[in-house]
Chains A and B, each alone.
Chain A
Amino acid sequence: MVNVNAQGIAETILNIAKKHRCGAQVTMSERDSKDIAVRQGKIERLLTSVAISTGIRLFKGKKSAIIAFSGNDFQDMEPRIKTAVDTLDYLGEEDAKRLLTGAEFGAGVKELQLDDNHFEDLKIPAIVDALKNIEAGGLAVDNKLIPSEMAEFSASRARVHLFSTEGLAKSFSRSYYSFSYNAVAESQDKRQKEVDSWYENKRFFKELPAELVGNIGKKAAEMALKRLGGKKIRSGEKPVVFSSRTAAALLKLLFDAMNGEDVLLRNSFLVDKLGKKLFPDKITVMDDPFMSGYIGSYPFDGEGMNGMTKAAIEKGKLMTYLHNSYSAGKLNMALTGNASREISAAPGVTCGNFYLQPGRGTMTDLLLEMKKGLLVEDLFTSGMNDVTGNFSFGCSGFLVEKGKIGAPVKEITVAGNILELFKNVLEIADDNEYKTSISSPSFLVSQLAVAGT
């Protein structure tokens, strides 16, 4: 890290704001990162960086303007803040535009085991060897695997500081380490190629031992190989199993619809659904920022408010939307500690560890339960109408016959309505690895419209 005097800089900024009779929140982010990519046994990319950004939200009379800088060069700060103060005159008044009070953002910073302070000790040669192993492990699976893509390592350590004229002064650090590989398989006639990827990620480097990392190449390669020869299938209605990663993509659509700002804009299929039972009892969705060492964890949100563990959906009933202070204020609802941390914009809405409560068993059990249908392993979730929840998603995966994975399928779509889809969840497995902040176990849906030929 550059070791900026965050508190000193923030105090200077807050004093300039006060001179202009403004309230202010200062967000500073320091981030170090290292990225290494290996292809064909050689380092193809080595990236290092040290970055600092500072965002200032100025508040005056129910109005708020924003100004952001990169780096630690603060020489033009004073005139630039003045320019931003001048823009306040152009804004409309809005009661919900305000700073959180001390009672709202709360005291203390919860210790969540997110920061590995061994970032500086990373040994590049050892990491390069691990990456070479990953690639070799992938290529060894079959001679149809080709050395096209890279094995990659990514590490970062970030420190976040929040200060405000309301007395907010909180900081926390978190680190991140990941190894990944994209395997490419090519058919014998060289006319078809398929790619698949696998990765392992942790907040602490020591949690990525050689036995875990060593398998990444093999896993990715086996999956890419299985996809070769994929074909379209006939259009029709089918039961569908969504694997853990595609189930997470569907769960993200529920998260998006709970975003208080979209609810305010009425750009969500969950508008007017608060407190209603939408899904069967087995659907419980948690938002928990306090899980120790997890990828989605944070002690306080982008406005400095301490995080809150909550069920967003409990036994099928929508319990809450997710808010920053603006959307909560406009909709006259309680704060939920979900403000995202932004530097050059007003806070949006984020989540902690947002996951579907697991059921039992593995994906294999779900396939046995389904007997005949479709397993979706890859899903393009760009085709949804946010307002109605109607969707049509491109996907690929496998036919399932007698509970077993059969021929690969591609270039098809599944279509329907997202509320109907979660209503039709029959079984949920217990195979979530919580690798992303939004994650899910795999689940079985009774039926969906599939379009192929």
Chain B
Amino acid sequence: MKDNVLDMFYKKGLPPLEQLQRMMAEPLKSAGDFSEIYIEDLVSRSYRLSERIISDISSTYVTGAGIRVLRGNNTGYSYTEDLSRESILKCLGDAAEIAGSAKTFKVHNPGKKHNLYDIAASVYDPPDAKIELLKRAEASAFSICPLVEKVEAHLLENNKITLVINSLGVVAWDIRPMLTFGVTVILKKGAAREGAYEGGGGRVSLDWFKKRTPEQIAVKAVHQALVLLDAKPAPAGEMEVILGAGDSGILLHESIGHPLEADFNYRGSSAFSGRIGEKVAADQCTIVDQGDLPNERGSLNIDDEGNASGRSVLIENGILKTYMYDLITANHFQQPSFNGRRESFREIPMPRMTNTFMMAGKYSEEEIIKSVKKGVYAKSFSGGQVDITSGDFVFSITEGYLVENGKISCPIKGATLIGNGPQILKRVQMVGNTLVISEGKWTCGKEGQSVAVGVGLPTVKLSHITVGGTQNG
């Protein structure tokens, strides 16, 4: 397989491996510590159904190489879309311009590569089956509810082949398929209109739709919009909040995950900097980032620096154990590195999450709901933002309910949760007994780079958090 990957790149003009390795050694003769070439080939296709027809099909082909030279912790980087010897040499020269004092770079053990998504990527198959899936979703949405006014559906599929060669002797490759399916619906009832989105996917083949049909996805989107049509304005102020299992993992990802990425901590700009070993969360909280789960959206056989992905227990029973590292920060903190990721060859790698979740606790969801006198049950979120430095975050609830005297009452709309990451972990009062991974719909942005991630959470009860709504009292 490795030869196949190399041959594929040789056909695109890449010089032979031995020659590349000699080229990579060149800048290290003067003062560099580490050099690396990351080569990528991406084929992607997207299909869109809109206004009751298949309206768009687009195909994209991207090839290129990113070249990095490190001196100490400082990065020189350059990229090219042309894999020829001349272009790569030019990039090496530009990248080697990075100045700085030389430090010894620790030799790193890249670990044994996983085999987490050994499937045939659907992107090379003809469009027929995929168009059928989009049409099934549309038909289902229109047939289930007369209030449905508009349906839009999309399917994105790609296959990315990566090759990493560095001056530490690593030659690593990966073949990464990805499939994403989503349905947007707009419902109209009298003068009122509401919209909703539901999606899923992962590093999976079209067989995935056997267990999660396009009809189910469409029905879920319609259901969410229907709930919103009947929803009352959200309350405002501090109250008890239940985070529903699954989608609420985005809150964990944003408010706890990002501040635990090692680059922020290496620079000292995270709310968690210098706090390893400290109690930062309630006893019941154990939080994990795990890149080696099969077929998940955030899973990787190797990270984008050539290291086998792994599992990090970030917080164990409330104690902060570790950050997530890329090569530079791992070298600084003297830790193993397997969270170095980048959007493409055009970008430098940095510490990023893979699949991030909280381990299950001991309470049933029923017990948790029963314990709430007056509060909000947040079932799904559309997204959120966090200020890494202060730890402040905000999340938008798409589907949420009031909880009164231990019972879920009416749906609410227009609510956000606003809080502070380090504080919120201490307010976890109950953790549910079933961990749910939110399937295949999250993309994480950091410094302008997007990467696919997985998030997950059991049902969690927070003692208090500010709900930003319009109804005071």
State the A residues within 8 Å of B (CB).
Answer: 39, 42-52, 64-73, 76, 80, 83-84, 87, 90-94, 97, 124, 146, 148-149, 182, 184, 192-195, 227, 230, 232, 235-237, 264-267, 271, 330, 344-346, 380, 382-388, 390-394, 396, 410-416, 449, 451-453
Residues of B within 8 A of A67 (CB): 58-61
B150 close to A266 (CB less than 8 A): yes
B392 close to A413 (CB less than 8 A): no
Inter-chain CA distance A68–B26, complex, in Å, is 35
For the complex formed, measure the closest distance between the CB of A395 and the CB atoms of chain B, giving whole angstroms. Answer: 8
For the complex formed, measure the closest distance between the CB of B455 and the CB atoms of chain A, giving whole angstroms. Answer: 16
B76 close to A46 (CB less than 8 A): yes
A451 close to B53 (CB less than 8 A): no
Inter-chain CA distance A149–B349, complex, in Å, is 17
Inter-chain CA distance A235–B469, complex, in Å, is 10
Q: Is B153 positioned at the interface, with any CB of A under 8 Å from its CB?
A: no
A72 close to B82 (CB less than 8 A): yes
B58 close to A66 (CB less than 8 A): yes
A451 close to B414 (CB less than 8 A): no
Inter-chain CA distance A380–B386, complex, in Å, is 9
Q: From the candidates A69, A266, A413, name the one contacting B418 in the complex (CB within 8 A).
A: A413
Inter-chain CA distance A92–B73, complex, in Å, is 54
A68 close to B194 (CB less than 8 A): no
Residues of A within 8 A of B387 (CB): 195
Q: Is chain B's binding surface mostly helix, strand, loop or mixed?
A: strand
For the complex formed, measure the closest distance between the CB of B120 and the CB atoms of chain A, giving whole angstroms. Answer: 18
A42 close to B390 (CB less than 8 A): no
For the complex formed, measure the closest distance between the CB of A328 and the CB atoms of chain B, giving whole angstroms. Answer: 14
A267 close to B195 (CB less than 8 A): yes
A73 close to B13 (CB less than 8 A): yes
B81 close to A51 (CB less than 8 A): yes
Q: Which of B53, B58, B98 has the most CB atoms of chain A within a 10 A radius of its CB?
A: B58
- Provided the pairs A46-B97, A93-B53 are in contact, do residues A52 and B81 lie with their beta carbons within 8 angstroms? yes
Q: Which B-chain residue is minimally distant from A345 (CB atoms)? A: B58
B468 close to A451 (CB less than 8 A): yes
| 8 chain-A/chain-B pairs, Cβ below 8 angstroms | A51-B346, A195-B390, A227-B390, A266-B188, A266-B193, A346-B56, A383-B396, A387-B195
Count of A-B residue pairs with CB < 8 Å: 260
Inter-chain CA distance A69–B64, complex, in Å, is 11
Inter-chain CA distance A182–B82, complex, in Å, is 35
Write out, one digit per residue, whether chain B residues 41-70 have a CB within 8 A of any chain A CB (1) or not (0). 000101000111111111111111000000
Q: From the candidates B44, B61, B97, B100, name the one contacting A80 in the complex (CB within 8 A).
A: B61
Residues of B within 8 A of A48 (CB): 77-78, 94-95
Kindly specify which of B161-169, B231-239, B333-341, B403-411 makes contact with the partner chain.
Answer: B231-239
Inter-chain CA distance A237–B269, complex, in Å, is 34
- Provided the pairs A146-B268, A394-B416 are in contact, do residues A49 and B152 lie with their beta carbons within 8 angstroms? no
Residues of A within 8 A of B58 (CB): 65-68, 344-346
A385 close to B394 (CB less than 8 A): no
B271 close to A392 (CB less than 8 A): no
The 10 closest A-B pairs by CB, nearest first: A92-B53, A413-B468, A394-B394, A71-B81, A66-B58, A383-B396, A451-B236, A148-B269, A195-B389, A383-B416
B390 close to A413 (CB less than 8 A): no
B416 close to A393 (CB less than 8 A): yes
Inter-chain CA distance A357–B35, complex, in Å, is 52
Q: Which size bracket describes the interface of B in this complex? A: 35 or more
Known interface pairs A70-B63, A382-B396, A411-B392; 9 further A-B residue pairs with C-beta atoms within 8 A, sorted by A's residue number: A49-B78, A68-B58, A69-B61, A90-B128, A149-B267, A184-B269, A387-B193, A390-B414, A451-B469
Q: Is B28 positioned at the interface, with any CB of A under 8 Å from its CB?
A: no
A94 close to B55 (CB less than 8 A): yes
A382 close to B194 (CB less than 8 A): no
- Provided the pairs A47-B348, A148-B269, A413-B468 are in contact, do residues A87 and B418 lie with their beta carbons within 8 angstroms? no
Residues of B within 8 A of A124 (CB): 97
Inter-chain CA distance A446–B470, complex, in Å, is 16
Q: From the candidates B51, B82, B100, name the one contacting A94 in the complex (CB within 8 A).
A: B51
Inter-chain CA distance A280–B394, complex, in Å, is 31
Q: Is B413 positioned at the interface, with any CB of A under 8 Å from its CB?
A: yes
A449 close to B64 (CB less than 8 A): no
Residues of B229-278 at the interface with A, using a CB-CB cut-off of 8 Å, are: 233-234, 236-238, 267-269, 271
B468 close to A265 (CB less than 8 A): no
For the complex formed, measure the closest distance between the CB of B191 and the CB atoms of chain A, giving whole angstroms. Answer: 10
- Provided the pairs A46-B77, A68-B58 are in contact, do residues A382 and B127 lie with their beta carbons within 8 angstroms? no
B56 close to A64 (CB less than 8 A): yes
Q: Is B382 positioned at the interface, with any CB of A under 8 Å from its CB?
A: yes
For the complex formed, measure the closest distance between the CB of A258 and the CB atoms of chain B, giving whole angstroms. Answer: 17
For the complex formed, measure the closest distance between the CB of A79 and the CB atoms of chain B, giving whole angstroms. Answer: 11
B99 close to A83 (CB less than 8 A): no
For the complex formed, measure the closest distance between the CB of A84 and the CB atoms of chain B, giving whole angstroms. Answer: 6
B396 close to A392 (CB less than 8 A): yes
Residues of B within 8 A of A451 (CB): 236-237, 418, 466-469, 472
Inter-chain CA distance A93–B55, complex, in Å, is 8
Q: Is B209 positioned at the interface, with any CB of A under 8 Å from its CB?
A: no
Q: Is B383 positioned at the interface, with any CB of A under 8 Å from its CB?
A: yes
Q: Which of A45, A48, A266, A271 has the most CB atoms of chain B within a 10 A radius of its CB?
A: A48
A411 close to B414 (CB less than 8 A): no
Residues of A within 8 A of B75 (CB): 44-47
B56 close to A385 (CB less than 8 A): no
A413 close to B466 (CB less than 8 A): yes
